[in-house]
Amino acid sequence: MGITRNTVLEAWMNEHGYSSNSLADAVNAAVERLTGRTGGLDGSSIRSWKAGRVRWPKSATRKALEDVTGLPATALGFVPRGRTPSTPAPRQQEDLDMKRRTLVGGIAAAAAAAAAVPGTAGPRRIGMGDVDRLQHRFGEIIASDHRHGGQLGIEQRAAALADEALNLQNAGSASQRVRGNLYACAASFRSSAMWAAIDGRRYDDAKMHMREAQALAEMSGDQAIKFRIWSHAGTMYRHMGRPADALAANDVARNLHLTRRDPLFASLGLARQAAIHGAAQDRTGTRRAFEQAQDAMLRADPADYRPVWMLAFYDQAELDALALSAYLALGDHPTAEFHAHRCLSALRPHMIRSRAITTTRLAHAQLAQGDADTATATAMKVSADAATQHARVARMLQEFGAALRATAPGTTTVQTWTEHAATWRMTA
């Protein structure tokens, strides 16, 4: 077999501004954090990856690369030993129920008929290679979201890719399995467009994407993407100040049988339920749900197959981030600060958006405890990009400034904050 260039890794590096040498440095540092020994990569090592001469890096190096990028190695174009590039990775939900079989089968027949043009050699055959290509693009969307978060460009790109996945349904003939996977891809992209709109506080757009995503997920029969969409809906309603609707949406996600099979999905559902209880001022419900979420996380098997979006963000740091949000809403500021420090100490390098949100919330918790100087120093650690380009962060920092002026009027601390915030505006 010839060597196939890893164009997926190249695309990721170009998007995120990495040269071969700088990526080697980042992965070496991540190897040192994992093993205590500095990695031995250099620019030529990365060029070998891009050229396809190394198809599956060694385990420690591979884990370090995944920590740097926030993506599994397979989503970066690497191929496990013993698998050819054209062989699709195993997918859950291979055995779909009879209702979905009938629905997707009918659509498949209609699409094939529409694609058959008289006078041609016949329709193109759509296969798992097309699905794999879309899944690589989904990994790129996930990485962009964790780096930038809430941007209109991410939302628009994800929506366009959802349309691209749907257009493939009419581009030729395909098996029922491929068609189900294409609907799952389209639902995944729509759910990312939905999340970008939520994160940017564009709630009307988010609800439009949600309706599209829900319909596509039903046609795909993919439990994991159904969970993602309904769990996002719960978060959307929580941010909108509608805890009853948030609980109802999150309960749809939590009641999927996927959560009974995989404790990590159960943990995420419970952690988001706890955050909703916090917004609703339910202290007992908050504490109980977080205890259950932590227990479920400890029971989860790290070796189980999970989709790229789950692997890229949900871990102990995210559980603590949700606890921070809940206890801040409850007014339990010491507990909120505790979870903020735990989250920041465990956040993976690619979680740039999450670090900005957590740092801002930590500043709020410190200010509420009367420590204006420490709180201001914390808030000033937020990057100018996040402070000006991320809608949620920008709003929380504006609220922090107003609270600081009310807490410590006329002080040098307020003056320091005002001058620093002005530099953010000048760089916007």
Closest CA to 190 of 177, 206, 169, 168: 206
Residues 151 and 215 grouped into a single domain: yes
pLDDT, residue 197, reads 93
pLDDT, residue 87, reads 39
Q: Cα 220 to the chain's mean position, in Å?
A: 20
pLDDT, residue 103, reads 39
What residues contact 137, with CB distance under 8 A and at least 6 apart? Answer: 161
Q: Mapping DSSP to helix (H, G, I), strand (E, B) and coil, where does residue 58 land?
A: coil
Q: What residues in the chain have per-residue pLDDT under 50?
A: 1, 84-121
Residues 107 and 211 grouped into a single domain: yes
Residues 104 and 215 grouped into a single domain: yes
Range of the domain at 128: 99-116+123-221
What residues contact 66, with CB distance under 8 A and at least 6 apart? Answer: 72, 73
pLDDT, residue 123, reads 62
Q: Is residue 10 part of a domain?
A: yes
Residues 103 and 74 grouped into a single domain: no
pLDDT, residue 2, reads 60
User: How many folded domains does the chain comprise?
Assistant: 2
pLDDT, residue 64, reads 84
Rounded to an integer, what distance in angstroms lies between the CA atom of residue 276 and that of residue 282? 9
163-195 residue pLDDT tens: 999 888 888 788 888 889 999 999 999 999 999
Judge whether 207 and 235 are in contact, CB under 8 Å: no
pLDDT, residue 83, reads 52
Residues 44 and 71 grouped into a single domain: yes
Residues 103 and 212 grouped into a single domain: yes
Rounded to an integer, what distance in angstroms lies between the CA atom of residue 309 and that of residue 225? 9
pLDDT, residue 120, reads 42
Residues 103 and 216 grouped into a single domain: yes
